[in-house]
Structure 1
Amino acid sequence: MRLTPENTSRFVQAGPVKIHYHEAGTGPVLLCIHGGAPGAFGWSNFGRNLEALSQNFRTLIVDLPGYGKSDKPAIDGVRTGAYAQCFKDMLESLGIDKAHILGMATGGAVAIKMALEFPGVVDRLVLINCPGGLSLFQQKSAPATHSYYQGEGPSMERMRASMERLVFDKRCITEEMVRERYEASIAPEFMAQAPEGKGGKPGENLEVLWPELHRIEAKTLIIWGRDNPTLNYDNSLYMLNRIKNSRVHIHSQCGLLVPIEKPEEFNLEVTGFLKLQ
């Protein structure tokens, strides 16, 4: 049966927060945490990878609190720890003792925080183009995704432009992807609570994690797009130097959205790393 957003949709109470997620597959648990951006949600980042990943793992694709169909609680100040606690609570509610944690962008910072604060829960880490490193060279200017709500406000055209800035090959951004993100970006609850909905900058209210990377014990795969305009690929080299048991794969001709731009390579490298003895 073809996996769809509808037939994989689930909800679970994670402490005080109800989390929406998609689930498919059996085997070791793989928790996938999406990035923060206007209208972001789990399926938009990883839904197109679910069929391949679920062949080897019980794959859970979550919506961050404040995003998608998850509850939208008010979170003041730094959000990384609150998100990490929420997903620890989620795994506990599902009776899961240990899981592989995969995170992209904001989701990667949350995965790092989980590995630091709850090492017993985290099996292996996959970090994709995420805050938490430190630039060794001059960092490229980040695209102004925070301007999406300013001026004339949200539109399909502005959402397409925002998404196309994040990729190397603009042809991978389909009309369906633009529409689902646009519709999510104008949901009143999202605009009221998510940082990007308030006009915040990407990565705003995330904890500074690079001084703590040496404490990570989990085996870690760091994936980067060489042409990522938000965080230069030298961040991945810093992480490689600081995380004791880590490896890096830098994709050429690829931006931020590696799971979307390089889906077959991404699925194979994640599966291979997580199954490696």
Structure 2
Amino acid sequence: MSATVPTPAATVPITAESTSRFVDAGEVRVHYHEAGSGPVLLCIHGGAPGAYGWGNFGANVPGLAEHFRVLVVDLPGYGRSDKPQISGGRYAFYAKVFADMLAALEINSAHILGMATGGAAAMMLAIEHPQVVDNLVLVSSAGGLPLFTPMPSEGQKVIQSYYGGEGPSRAKMRSYLEMMMYDASSITEELVEERYRASIEPEFMTGAPDGRGAQNRPATEQVWRDVDRIRARTLVVWGRDNRVQGYDNALFLLNRIPDVQVHLYGRTGLWVPFERVEEFNALLVGFLCPS
């Protein structure tokens, strides 16, 4: 095992810098953030240009760290994690890395939270490595099956076009964020700049599955075919106004995952944890820590 030694959380403010850690998960060096104590909650972010763990879940970490030992990962290919070539299915690769990561940290099992691409990875983890999954939370998850949303969706077209034409720009990033969220007033210049800068990092553009290089787009499995094999107690969370993954995906998962409940928010897009920070944290705590 090779991992950085965490600093006691009680003496250090919870920031991206103070919580930053690395661990060798098999052959992949994974960057993650750690805060809090208690039951382990592993948070897996979504894909798309400029995505990384703290960017997706940073606003939630202080509140969740009051109840859990929170681990927020950068997917392989994103953020500060290694950017390996992925052979075989993308989601199975991620699932194996996270199973190896938990083993390296000597964690037998954890609650798993996955959003968008991270949701498909979380489902694959529950399917192929069920022994490491206590409870499962899926937010705007990929890997399901849309019942009536046209494919590719409006949001998927925006994502796919980000590096096309004249290439990435701050205007394109703002358009993407406005598409992803219901209330555009929460999109600050700082947020646009942060995501834009992450999207043009040379290693991201050449090494991430959602970067510019088409050769880096590994196959994505049809996870929906096997979701009936998920035995973990599961919470599915969606925004009604999600223009990337329509809420009909949530209804499909409701019908296929054996032990499941669904929570839908109106006036909410894909990024539920950011758009409804306090409500989402309370929902998560209530589901994972029932009194």
**TM-score (normalised: structure 1):** 0.96
> Structure 1 residue 111 and structure 2 residue 122: aligned?
yes
Q: Give matches, 1:37-76, under 5 Å.
A: 37-76=48-87
Counterpart for residue 192 of structure 2: 178
Match status 1:82 vs 2:93: yes
Contact 2:87–2:218, Cα closer than 8 Å, also in 1? no
2:18 is aligned to 7
- Whether the 8 Å contact between 1:17 and 1:65 is mirrored in structure 2 is yes
Partners of 1:55 and 1:7 lie apart in 2 by 16
1:199 shift after superposition: 5.9
Tell me by how many angstroms 1:206 deviates: 2.0
CA distance in structure 1 between the partners assigned to 2:76 and 2:143 by the alignment? 20
CA deviations over 1:204-238 (Å, ceiling 9, x no partner): 73210112111111000000010000111111011
Q: Would you say the 8 A contact 2:206–2:213 is kept in 1? A: no
Q: TM-score, normalized by length of structure 2?
A: 0.91
Which of 160, 166, 170 aligns to 1:152? It is 166
Question: In 1, Cα distance between the equivalents of 2:82 and 2:197?
Answer: 17
Q: CA deviation at 1:180?
A: 1.4
CA contact (8 A) 2:86 2:218 kept: no
d(CA) in 2 for partners of 1:217, 1:179: 41
* Matching residue within 135, 145, 154 for 1:142: 154
Q: CA deviation at 1:137?
A: 2.1
Structure 1 unaligned blocks of 5 or more: none
What is the aligned counterpart of 2:259 among 229, 245, 260? Answer: 245
**Deviation >4 Å, runs of 4+:** none
Percent of residue pairs bearing the same amino acid type: 56
Structure 2 match to 1:97: 108
Tell me how far apart the structure 1 counterparts of residues 154 and 119 of structure 2 sit (CA, whole Å): 17
Q: What amino acid is aligned across from residue 67 of structure 2 in structure 1? A: N
Task: Give, as a single letter, the amino acid of the residue that structure 1 aligns with 2:14.
Answer: L
What is the DSSP-based 3-state SS (H/G/I as helix, E as strand, rest coil) of the residue aligned with 2:60? helix
Q: Distance in 1 between matches of 2:19 and 2:208?
A: 24
CA distance in 2, matches of 1:77, 1:262: 36
CA distance in 1, matches of 2:179, 2:219: 22
Superposed CA RMSD in Å reads 1.5
Which of 239, 246, 253 pairs up with 1:232?
246
Residue 179 (structure 2) pairs with residue 165 (structure 1): yes
CA contact (8 A) 1:146 1:199 kept: no
- Listed one character per residue, the Cα deviations across residues 245-275 of structure 1 (whole Å, up to 9, x for unaligned) are 1000001000000011111110000111000
Q: Number of aligned pairs?
A: 275
Q: 1:122 aligns with which of 117, 129, 133?
A: 133
**Shift of residue 148, structure 1, vs aligned partner:** 1.1
Aligned partners of 1:208, 1:276: CA distance in 2, in Å?
32
Give 2:212's aligned residue. Answer: 198
Mark the CA change 1:20 to 1:155 in structure 2 (over 3 Å): closer, same or farther: same
SS in 2 for 1:207: coil
Equivalent-residue separation in structure 1 for 2:218 and 2:262 (angstroms): 25
* Greater CA drift, 231-240 or 102-111: 231-240
Contact 1:125/1:221, CA 8 A, preserved across alignment: yes
- Quick one: which amino acid aligns to residue 203 of structure 2? E
